[in-house]
Every structure is written in C-alpha cells, then in structure tokens.
Structure 1
C-alpha cells in the first residue's frame, strides 16, 4: 500500500502579531530566529502560506539578545523581500521567454519563443510578429529549441515551416 507523503509544514500566519520576535501584516510575517551558521540571530520574511522564506538575513543584536522587531524594521524587510521575489520572477520569465528581431525579405520581424514547462508535455511556442505587431505564424517546437537570429530567419524564409531534422 502506498502512503502519500505528508504536506510540508507551513508555519501559522502571524497576521496582526506584533512582538519583539514576530511581526505580521499584509500577508507577510517576519520572525527573528537563532542563526544556524553562526552565533547570533537572523530574521526571516515569509509570505503567508509559503513553505520557504523569501528572505533570510542576519539580525542586529541589542546586547546579548536580538534587537526587537518594529514597524520600520518590518517595512524595510518587506521591501527587501518583495525585491527578492521580483528579481526571481524576472529571472524565471527571462528563462522561459526569448525574443529576437531579424530582417527577412523586405520586413523586420519579432520572433518569440515561450517555453511551457509542462510536467507531461514540455514544449515551446515559436511565434513571428510582423512590423505592425500582428502575429503571422505560431508553431509548437521542442522545449529545448534554441532561438537564434539565424534559426528565426530560416523559419520565416521557409514560410514558417521547418524541414525534417530541424
């Protein structure tokens, strides 16, 4: 008999909690924790419901104990954690979306490749846009298709068809 693995434990949201070591509001929580890799303290910022923190960084000491959290510290941590998530999203988007501009025939074309990381059918969508921004062709290709200017130009010049082996 197969027993499903338990879901990851997600810490309880601390919305509205405001004390020296925990602070939560607007779907985020900050928690001061003992640092694993060094003597001292760290603070983690976690979006409510997420199993992993978006940000973990060293936390300031006030004598022998960690400095208490407060509204201004929470706001600064929230800005940092939000910036980290924005960079991760931009990096992921850059990995899944490629774009080249080529001249083919008498026109300039924008060709995009959007990778669809589907668990069962990973693939990519290759699409060409004419100078007016209208989609001229769209084709499903392998997820590992390499979009280069030469490949885009060849695709356009062959009336948006790939020969066998491409």
Structure 2
C-alpha cells in the first residue's frame, strides 16, 4: 500500500507497521508471557518507546497491528520524543536574570555534553539581547541567582581565558 501524500510505501504486516518516520514492531515481552510494541524512529537502532501490547483472542499470540493503533502509537511516541528533547534542552540550557550596573542582565549557561571533554559556556546578554560577555566554564558549573549576580558584579571576571 502507498501513502498518496508522500508516495512512500508503507509496510503493514500483523506485527510490523512502518511509515516514513516510524516503525511499530510487536515483540515478545521479556518480563512475562505477554507482548510489547516497540516504536522506532526511522534511522534509530534503539526504540523511542516500548509499551505493553494486547494478546489476541487465542491468548497466545499478539493482536495484529491496525491503522488506528498505529496512528495512536505514532502520536504517543512522537509526544514522548518531543518531551524528552524538551527535558534535555532544559537540562543543558539554563538562564537567570539579575541586576546589572545599568540594566537587567540575563546570564545563560549552555552545557556541551562531549563524551571526552564536557564543558559549559557561560554568557551574559543585556535587555536588547546584545552579548556582554562569554566564557568557558566547567560542565558542573551551578548557575543560580547568586552565582549569576556574583559574575555580573565582578564585571564578568573569571580566572582563565574568556571573551568580553
């Protein structure tokens, strides 16, 4: 069968459905005698989401996938991925607004999660969004109102090299 909107063939089997972005695969649940469905984003080797799947009428085999179930699974997996990305973004990017000498200053911390050498970038912007300072800091730097205010009060001074 083909999706007329994209001319992409869709795989539709009892235990495997696929569109241009997602694959739903019914798998044996390792934890018990039941079944699970794993949602894979195309190009990813690990599932984005795994959930329980309904047994068929024979109480041995899984219920076959169908269009309604697939649409629901795609929506659920997409929302799960979106929320995970938002959570990761929030963990890696923080900001605090404090008082500067002349106006409010927003101090931002952007963590770069490099496997070998993680670090963070601490920067400051004025109310117009113009950059006032930027320095590289340890990935474990704790940004809060006190550390931000202290950095602004010290005229963005930091031991080591930085850009002003």
Range into which the TM-score falls when normalised by the shorter chain: 0.7 to 0.9
Partner of 1:28: 22
The equivalences for 1:110-149 within 5 A come to 110-149=106-145
Within 1, Cα distance between the matches of 2:21 and 2:157? 48
Within 2, Cα distance between the matches of 1:139 and 1:18? 52
SS of aligned partner of 2:109: strand
The equivalences for 1:3-152 within 5 A come to 16-64=10-58, 65-152=61-148
Within 1, Cα distance between the matches of 2:72 and 2:116? 41
TM score, norm. by length of structure 2: 0.84
Partner of 1:4: none
Change in CA separation of 1:134 and 1:50 when aligned onto 2, cut-off 3 Å:
same
Gap runs ≥5 in structure 2: 1-8
Q: CA deviation at 1:46?
A: 0.7
Partner of 2:154: 158
SS of aligned partner of 1:62: coil
Poorly superposed stretches of 4+, deviation over 4 Å: none
CA RMSD of aligned residues (A): 1.6
SS of aligned partner of 2:13: coil
Gap runs ≥5 in structure 1: 1-14
Q: CA deviation at 1:158?
A: 1.5
Q: CA deviation at 1:163?
A: 5.3
SS of aligned partner of 1:33: strand
How many pairs does the alignment contain? 150
Within 2, Cα distance between the matches of 1:40 and 1:143? 43
Q: CA deviation at 1:133?
A: 1.5
Q: CA deviation at 1:49?
A: 2.4
Within 2, Cα distance between the matches of 1:112 and 1:41? 46
